[in-house]
Every structure is written in structure tokens, then in C-alpha cells.
């Protein structure tokens, strides 16, 4: 009888152990499935990119978006940061805007900004400049993402000779910035600052002559830039009928480089005002050529705007609202 009782207890204990093991294995299986589902969801969210072409751009941004506000952190401006340019054969300088809440242990996307003819790295990114204030206000309202802004100087030659250059000489000196951006500036920025590398994290934008250079730089380095903004770009990107016989019309490219499926821009934005005195025709021509090539772009003819800072502010609002989102 004692033996029978002992056998019953042993069988009961064995069954309990087996049930516990099965239950544990099932819990582990459930946990693994949940973990896999979570990873898949996270990956899906990471890969998901908003379509910047899905919404129309705005040209009614109020003036107070470009004004300093109490309680807003406008980030940290680092002025006149020097680096050696092998293309220029001399030092060049940039202004770098670090976003509010900047943490050197995190990494950030970066937007490079070209000025117009006759400007420099201080033109758009400077103490309390309209672009610095716009970006800070947008970031504080969640209208753009934290990123590093780099104000570039297109002058790519010996700095000591800059003041003696004619407009024609400057035009071709500016052309050298297209090469210099990829060869010298970007490696410098990537070494000095915690920027995310890759075209999905890199943008370039500019206006007027800087708009033309943004198109040229973006298309020369399609493997480096995923976002391109050209605001009322000048002639001189590809051959056109406009300003023929002048240095303005000497093209950088015989034709736009053809993007592939791997390096097509995530967003290509061109715009020009209806009151622009110079660049309506060439901007719309660039649009038509790109459309014929099958290169997606969003090109606007903005009612009532000219070729000035009021317009550039509207353009940058649209661009900053759509990059890296």
C-alpha cells in the first residue's frame, strides 16, 4: 500500500513538472512571437517615410514665424568655422546652427544652405537671421525635425583675392563649390559634428545663383543628397535659351544626370514667384526637362512673390517642413 501511494505521488509530481515545462516553453514562444512582431512593427515604422509630394506648399506663412519669440530656444550658432578646402587651395568658412536640445551623443540629419550671388556663409544663417528664427519657431511647434543647418560660402578660391573679382569671375568661382561641397566640406562636417550619414539624412537648398548651385550639387552628388531645394534658380545649370551669350548662361551640365531607382531624390522642390524679374522662364524650363526625364519634382509658381528675402522665407518653410520626415 505504501509502495502504491509512493508511485501515485511520484506520477503526480512528474505530471506537474511536465505541465510547468510546457507552460514555460509556451510563454517563451509567446514572448518570442511578441518580440518578433514588435521588431517588425518598429522596422515598418522606421522604413515608413511620409510622401512630401502629397501636400501642396504654402505661401501664406505669417511674418511672426520669422520673428524672435519669448521662451523659444533658437539653438546654438557657431560662426566662422574654418576648414581647409583642397578645391579652393585656401581656407573656407561656414556658419553652423545646432538645434535646440542639441546633444553631441545623438546624431542629426543635416541641411546645407547656399546663398545667392554676392553673399557668403552669413547671408541666411547668422545671429537672429530670418532662417535661424524660422527654424527655431518651426522646431518649437513640431513643424520640422531636429537637424544641423550649415550656411556655406560659394566663393571657392583664394580669399585674399575675393574683393577684386568681377561678376563673371565670381560666377565661375562659384561653380567650383559644386565639387568642393562633396570633396571637402561634407567630410569636414561629418568629422566635426554628429551628423547622420547617407542621402536619406542629407539635404541641400539655395536661392537664385545658390538655387542653381543647389541643383547642380544635388545632381552631381545624387549618392549624397536625398533632398534638393532650388528657389528661383538662375540659368547655367543646363543649356537654355535664356540670357544666351552671357556668362549667366554657361551651363554646368550638358543635361541633368539621370537618377536611378537607388538615387532618385526623396524630394525635389523648385519654386519661383510670379513677380520674379529674372528666373521664371528658366525655373519652369528646368521643371519641364525633369518631367520629360521622368524625375519627380514639385515646382510652384508662387503668386505675388518677387526675388527677395520675403520669398526665400516662404520657400524655406516649405522645405524644412518636408525634409527628413
pLDDT one-digit tens code per residue, 275-313: 999 999 999 999 999 999 999 999 999 999 999 999 999
Residue 258's contacts (CB-CB under 8 Å, 6 or more residues apart) are 293, 295
The residues pairing with 112 across neighbouring beta strands, listed in sequence order, are 150, 204
Yes or no: is domain 52-322 CATH 2.60.40.1080?
Answer: no
DSSP state at residue 252: S
Q: What was the pLDDT predicted at 49? A: 74
pLDDT tens by residue, 203-214: 999 999 999 999
Question: Strand order in 267-273's β-sheet?
Answer: 76-85, 90-98, 148-151, 110-114, 202-207, 227-231, 267-273, 298-302
Between CA 92 and CA 155 the distance in angstroms is 8
The stretch 77-99 carries a mean pLDDT of 98
Nine-digit cell string for 80: 566662422
Delimit the domains of the chain by residue range.
52-322
Contacts of 50 by beta carbon, 8 Å cutoff, 6+ apart: 322, 325
Residue 190 CA to residue 195 CA, distance in Å, equals 6
HSE at residue 126, side-chain half, CA atoms within 13 A, is 10
Cell reading at 13: 509530481
Model pLDDT for residues 7-54, shown as the tens digit of each residue:
434 444 344 444 444 444 444 444 443 434 443 333 333 446 799 999
Write out the three cell numbers for 176: 567650383
**Mind listing the pLDDT tens digit for each residue in 110-120?**
999 999 999 99
pTM, to two decimals: 0.86
Q: Distance between CA atoms of 142 and 28, rounded to whole angstroms? A: 40
**Nearest 10 degrees: Cα torsion 86, 87, 89, 95:** -80
Residue pointed to by grid coordinates 524655406: 316
Q: Which residues pair with 90 in a beta bridge?
A: 85
pLDDT of residue 305: 98
- Cα–Cα distance measured from residue 262 to residue 67, given in angstroms and rounded to the nearest whole number: 40
Radius of gyration, CA atoms only, the chain: 27
Average pLDDT of the chain to the nearest whole number: 89
Give per-residue pLDDT as tens, 203-259.
999 999 999 999 999 999 999 999 999 999 999 999 999 999 999 999 999 999 999
Amino acid at each position: 500500500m505504501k509502495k502504491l501511494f509512493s508511485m501515485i505521488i511520484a506520477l503526480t509530481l512528474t505530471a506537474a513538472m511536465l505541465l510547468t515545462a510546457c507552460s514555460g516553453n509556451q510563454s517563451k514562444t509567446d514572448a518570442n512571437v511578441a518580440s518578433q512582431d514588435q521588431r517588425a512593427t518598429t522596422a515598418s515604422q522606421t522604413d515608413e517615410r511620409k510622401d512630401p509630394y502629397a501636400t501642396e506648399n504654402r505661401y501664406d506663412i505669417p511674418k511672426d514665424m520669422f520673428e524672435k519669440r519669448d521662451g523659444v530656444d533658437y539653438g546654438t550658432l557657431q560662426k566662422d568655422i574654418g576648414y581647409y578646402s583642397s578645391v579652393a587651395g585656401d581656407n573656407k568658412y561656414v556658419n553652423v546652427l545646432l538645434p535646440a536640445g542639441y546633444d553631441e551623443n545623438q546624431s542629426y540629419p543635416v541641411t546645407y544652405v547656399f546663398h545667392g550671388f554676392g553673399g557668403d556663409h552669413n547671408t541666411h544663417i547668422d545671429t537672429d537671421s530670418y532662417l535661424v528664427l524660422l527654424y527655431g519657431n518651426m522646431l518649437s511647434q513640431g513643424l520640422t525635425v531636429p537637424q544641423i543647418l550649415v550656411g556655406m560660402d560659394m566663393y571657392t578660391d583664394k580669399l585674399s583675392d575675393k574683393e577684386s573679382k568681377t561678376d563673371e569671375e565670381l560666377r565661375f568661382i562659384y561653380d567650383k563649390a559644386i565639387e568642393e561641397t562633396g570633396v571637402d566640406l561634407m567630410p569636414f562636417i561629418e568629422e566635426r559634428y554628429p551628423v547622420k550619414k547617407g542621402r536619406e539624412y542629407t539635404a541641400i537648398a539655395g536661392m537664385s545663383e545658390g538655387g542653381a548651385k543647389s541643383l547642380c550639387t544635388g545632381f552631381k552628388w545624387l549618392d549624397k543628397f536625398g533632398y534638393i531645394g532650388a528657389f528661383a534658380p538662375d540659368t547655367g545649370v543646363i543649356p537654355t535659351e535664356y540670357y544666351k551669350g552671357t556668362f549667366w548662361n554657361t551651363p554646368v551640365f550638358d543635361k541633368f544626370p539621370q537618377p536611378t531607382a537607388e538615387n532618385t531624390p526623396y524630394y525635389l522642390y523648385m519654386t519661383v514667384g510670379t513677380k520674379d524679374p529674372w528666373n521664371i522662364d528658366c525655373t519652369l524650363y528646368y521643371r519641364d526637362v525633369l518631367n520629360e526625364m521622368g524625375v519627380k519634382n514639385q515646382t510652384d509658381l508662387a503668386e505675388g512673390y518677387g526675388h527677395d528675402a520675403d520669398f526665400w522665407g516662404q520657400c524655406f518653410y516649405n522645405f524644412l517642413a518636408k525634409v527628413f520626415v
